[in-house]
Structure 1
Amino acid sequence: MRVFSMVLSFLLMAVFNPCFTCRAMENGETDRIKKPVAESIRIRQNTQEQEQQWRDDKEKLLARYARLEETKKQLTLRRTALDDKVKETKSRIAAKHKQLDDIEGIGKEIAPLIDSLIKELETFVASDLPFLAEERLNRLQRLGELRGDPEVAVSEKFRKVMEALLVETEYGNTIEVYQETIALGGRGTLVDIFRLGRVGLFFQTLDRTSCGRYDVAAASWQPLPSEYNRSIATAMEIGAKRRPAELLTLPLG
């Protein structure tokens, strides 16, 4: 009964008050127009947001591409320089091997060359990445002792120097995994080391929670973000020949 009274009142107002009906119709028409306009505005806003997101993503990708191109350029230059050094070293070794056939009687001529090669090797190792430091320093120490030993023939001294040069040359063409104690956070820590030729030297703690690389400019080990943990762990497995080679993302330079 109450609902019927309300409906009846509404009808009477509509009959005796046309303005009421007009206002109701106007309000309905306004709502009908507002809805598609609001929807259009919402769609436009979403489109603008998507376009802005796309532009931001594009800028990030372009910046990343530029960084990768620069890294590629630097690696290419370094590879070329290393290849030239290897060719130069192999050429010198080949030439010196030829001289071994006529080594008799030219000991005074060879001795200064041996001294020069050992000094060059010492300088090179000192400025190189600090991988296998103990092994390489021991090799240099043995060469120094051999150089000053009058009981050792000049030809034998020369052969040992050539062997050391060949070993150092091969480091640039190989990868390797080994354990070593390095300085981290002011204390010595035993870690796994991954050597990528002479391009990069990376470490990972034995619990696989931290990783880093050797910064040549700072002459120290620097930590890397945890996002590189997986890539470095994979590199360790590849270097240890526990999985096939694959493309990895590693920070270089």
Structure 2
Amino acid sequence: MDMRQRANPVPTLVPWIMLALVGLIPWTAAAETATQVKHTAERAVAVDAATQQAVEAWEAEKQTLLANIDRAHTRLQNIDWQRRKATDYSATLNRKIEALKLRAAEMEKINVELLPLLDQMLDRLQTFVAADLPWQQAERRRKLAHTRQLLNDYDTGLLPKTRAVLETLAREADLGHTVAVREAEIAVDGQPRQVRLLQVGRLGLYALTMDGRQAYAWDGELRSFWALDEGGRDIGQAMQMAEGTRILALSRLPVGQPGAKTTAGGSRVNGK
């Protein structure tokens, strides 16, 4: 029941009015008492209204506080999950760090053992190229120098260094299976002469003057070309075959020890 209904002053004034009418109390006193009761009732109604307003205000504040508490509880749960997950992440990262340390130690051991081997392989390859057929020597030396530069670079990893050495080896190995023709310049009696060169793997290197009249073969031991008294026609045909303009077996090319042929009228020609 509403406080204002319970504090209604009308029923309270009735007994006093009745008493005043029957003469039990003076009318003036009854009037004063009724006024006091009315004021008391009015104050009670005002207090009750203020209380009701306070209760309603507190109810709204309580709902806000409950919502804040719920959000704080959810946030605490999330923080607890993050803490537990961070612990799991930390354990996983520690295991990965240990594995990386072991791998780094293994790589260091491989570096210590493999890097000197790569240097030795490249040293032997440079010596081999220097003694090999004078075919594309400038390009081959340039690639060797580039590989050496990678091996001497501290910041270059083991894998790029190994790949560079293996690729250089592969290129040199492919040269042994190559049949090719190109124009070049060789020295004859100290004079440059333009010729066409025929490279047949590592079996031999042959030269034919541009007019096709004089043929030469490379002597690996003496590091020079020696003149052929005959065989120019066969070399010319072999060049046509290598260029795809003629089909002919290469078995007729002069191979073997060229030094023995100089006694038959051949002469030495220095090659560049």
TM-score normalised per structure 1: 0.56
| Residue number in structure 2 paired with 1:156 | 160
| Residue number in structure 2 paired with 1:138 | 142
| Residue number in structure 2 paired with 1:209 | 213
- 1:150-206 CA-to-partner distances (Å, cap 9, x unmatched) read 222121011011011011112222211112211112122221110111111100111
The one-letter amino acid paired with 2:238 is A
What does 1:67-106 align with in structure 2 at a 5 Å threshold?
104-105=107-108, 106=110
Matching residue within 224, 243, 246 for 1:240: 243
Could you tell me the percent identity over the aligned residues? 33
Q: Residues 103 and 144 (structure 1 numbering): CA distance in 2 closer, same or farther, change over 3 Å? A: farther
- 1:21-56 CA-to-partner distances (Å, cap 9, x unmatched) read xxxxxxxxxxxxxxxxxxxxxxxxxxxxxxxxxxxx
Per-residue deviation, 1:248: 4.3
Contact in 2 for aligned 1:174/1:196 (Cα 8 Å): yes
The one-letter amino acid paired with 1:182 is I
What CA distance in whole angstroms lies between the structure 1 residues aligned with 2:178 and 2:166? 19
Deviating above 4 A after TM superposition, structure 1's stretches of 4 or more consecutive aligned residues are none
What CA distance in whole angstroms lies between the structure 2 residues aligned with 1:244 and 1:251? 18
Q: Residues 223 and 108 (structure 1 numbering): CA distance in 2 closer, same or farther, change over 3 Å? A: same
| Residue number in structure 2 paired with 1:174 | 178
What CA distance in whole angstroms lies between the structure 1 residues aligned with 2:158 and 2:136? 28
What CA distance in whole angstroms lies between the structure 2 residues aligned with 1:220 and 1:103? 49
What CA distance in whole angstroms lies between the structure 1 residues aligned with 2:187 and 2:209? 12
Per-residue deviation, 1:224: 0.7
The one-letter amino acid paired with 2:173 is T
Question: Is 1:197 matched with 2:171?
Answer: no
Contact in 1 for aligned 2:183/2:195 (Cα 8 Å): yes
SS of residue matched to 2:249: coil
- 1:202-251 CA-to-partner distances (Å, cap 9, x unmatched) read 001112121111112221111111x3111011111111222224254222
Q: Residues 190 and 247 (structure 1 numbering): CA distance in 2 closer, same or farther, change over 3 Å? A: closer
SS of residue matched to 2:163: helix
SS of residue matched to 1:190: strand
- Which residues of structure 2 form unaligned runs of 5+? 1-104, 257-272
What CA distance in whole angstroms lies between the structure 1 residues aligned with 2:245 and 2:111? 48
The one-letter amino acid paired with 1:232 is I
Contact in 2 for aligned 1:231/1:248 (Cα 8 Å): no
SS of residue matched to 2:177: coil
What CA distance in whole angstroms lies between the structure 2 residues aligned with 1:136 and 1:247? 26
Larger radius of gyration: 2
Q: Residues 247 and 147 (structure 1 numbering): CA distance in 2 closer, same or farther, change over 3 Å? A: closer
- Which residues of structure 1 form unaligned runs of 5+? 1-101
Per-residue deviation, 1:103: 8.1
What CA distance in whole angstroms lies between the structure 2 residues aligned with 1:141 and 1:171? 18
What does 1:34-113 align with in structure 2 at a 5 Å threshold?
104-105=107-108, 106-113=110-117
What CA distance in whole angstroms lies between the structure 2 residues aligned with 1:245 and 1:229? 15
The one-letter amino acid paired with 1:223 is A
TM-score normalised per structure 2: 0.52
Q: CA RMSD in A?
A: 1.9
| Residue number in structure 2 paired with 1:252 | 255
Aligned length: 151
